[in-house]
Amino acid sequence: MKRHLKILEHALSSLRRRTGKSLAIIVVYAFTIAVLASVLFLTHALRTEANLLLTAAPDLIVQRQIAGRHELVPYQYAETIRQLPGVANVQPRLWGYYYDALTKANYTLMGVDQGLPAEWPLIEGRMPEDIAECAVGAGVAAVRGLRLDDDLALIDSSNIGRIFTVTGIFQPESSLLANDLVVMTTEELRDFFGFADGQATDLAVRIYNPREIDVIARKIKRELPETRPITRSEIVRTYDAVFNWRSGMLLTVFASALVAFCILAWDKATGLSAEERREIGILKAIGWDTADILLLKFWEGVAVALTAFLLGLVGALVHVFLLGAPLLSAVIKGWSVIFPDFELTPYLDLYQVCILAFLTITPYVVSTVIPSWKAAVTDPDSVMRM
């Protein structure tokens, strides 16, 4: 133990002699790890959040498709589905999209039945109960500068402006679900979009026994061939795919950081500086074993890698969970004018952290030790002359 501590002391004093280089390596290494860990933490937290929240989604959503396009569903379809054994409830959903030319943002307009509770924990104010009332998401309130009891003007399908009184604003904690929502009564939404009576955007189906969802989806498809039933597990699977670290831009960020790390490790592995070579030669000349030199280089690698890993890890945790991943959200924002602030529940996976530690610390330490081993087994005189 004492021998290890003494060799570690020597390794640290050797790093101290090359302060500039050592600090530069630690900073680059820590930044690379912070980027890799941020991608992993963000995607894991979003995936876990989606999995947890969407388990409360309807068991089945039934859409109607004509010529490969989404069409409105007649209410009679709801009756047909209700007759199937095992179906607890079928509720027509009325919703659609609205492009707001003023802010160049898209909103999702959603109709709610009047039977819903008026006061919810995540809403300031209340849900709309009458015509010309609406509740809006925090994103819509921000872009339109809305407060409670303000008026929201929207253009309906007949190109006529309508004024809605804002009775409720969804709190920022619900932004992940309701950032772009404008909720109004079903009848008001039907009138706004000019939906024909007896038609809905799609149907939400509740099923008594979750194990029968797939069977009932197949039955619906057989009874109503132009429909497309989407099961809850398909919804959850979609989010698994969306927030997989391999997807889209996150892969680009992840791959860039990985390449940067590989270059760093490669640079270390391909050779020693003349100063390091001379140091190894001198140590050999004054009686150090090859094993001692390898131990010295091992501790040197561990000191750099461990410090950089922990710095990067803390940086990633602060970036994602305390600051809301501002650097990554700028990358994945795309063209969304309304984009939620990530107030994520900090779901952490220790397994991921261990894998990241193994995949970043080990290659660096190995790439520090191998070139030193090559120099350490060579004659000290020729090493010093190289």
Partner 1 sequence: MMYCRMFLGTILLLLSVTTGIFFWADRQVATQAQSLTSARREMVRQLQLTDLAIWTEARYSRHPSQADLFTPFQEFPGALEHFPAGSLLAPPSFNLNTQLKVALRAGGKS
Q: Which positions from 228 through 257 interact with partner 1, judged by CB under 8 A?
A: 228, 230, 234-235, 238-239, 241-242, 244, 247-249
Q: Pick out residues in 252-291 that bind partner 1 (CB under 8 A).
A: none
Partner residues linked to 178 by β-bridges = none
**Contacts (CB under 8 A) with partner 1, residues 178-197:** 178-181, 183
Place of tokens 């597990």: 233
Give residues 113-152 in contact with partner 1 (rule: CB under 8 A). Answer: 116-117, 120-122, 137, 139, 142-145
Q: Does 204 bind partner 1 (CB under 8 A)?
A: yes
Helix, strand, or coil (residue 153)? strand
Note whether 307 binds partner 1 by CB under 8 A.
Answer: yes
Find out whether 139 and 338 touch, Cβ atoms under 8 Å. Answer: yes
Q: Which is nearer to partner 1, 172 or 281 (CB)?
A: 172
Instruction: Output the six-digit token pair for 154.
Output: 């929207």
Strand partners, 151: 165
Instruction: State in angstroms the smallest separation of the CB of 338 from partner 1.
Output: 5
Which of 129, 130, 173, 275 lies at the binding interface for partner 1 (CB under 8 A)? 173
Per-residue tokens: 43: 């995607």
Which long-range CB contacts under 8 A does 258-263 form with residues at least 24 apart? Answer: 258/36, 260/28, 260/32, 261/29, 261/32, 261/33, 261/36, 261/360, 261/363
Under DSSP, is residue 105 helix (H, G, I), strand (E, B) or coil? strand
Q: Kindly tell me which of 174 and 383 has the beta carbon lying closer to partner 1.
A: 174
Question: Residues 90 to 109: which contact partner 1 by CB under 8 A?
Answer: 91, 93, 97, 102-108
Tokens of 159: 């190109």
Binding to partner 1 in span 325-384, by CB under 8 A: 331-340, 345-348, 350
3-state secondary structure of 235: helix
Of 18, 28, 51, 54, the one binding partner 1 (CB under 8 A) is 54
Interface with partner 1, residue 222, by CB under 8 A: no
- Where is 356: in which H helix or E strand? helix 350-376
- Of the ranges 55-63, 191-199, 270-278, 371-379, which one interacts with partner 1 (CB under 8 A)? 55-63
In the complex, minimum distance from the CB of residue 233 to partner 1, in angstroms, rounded to a whole number: 11
How many other β-carbons are positioned within 10 Å of the β-carbon of residue 372? 22
Q: Which one, 12 or 132, has the nearer CB to partner 1? A: 12
Which residue number, 50 or 81, has a Cβ lying nearer to partner 1?
A: 50
From 155, 306, 366, 370, residue interacting with partner 1 (rule: CB under 8 A):
306
The three-class DSSP label of residue 106 is strand
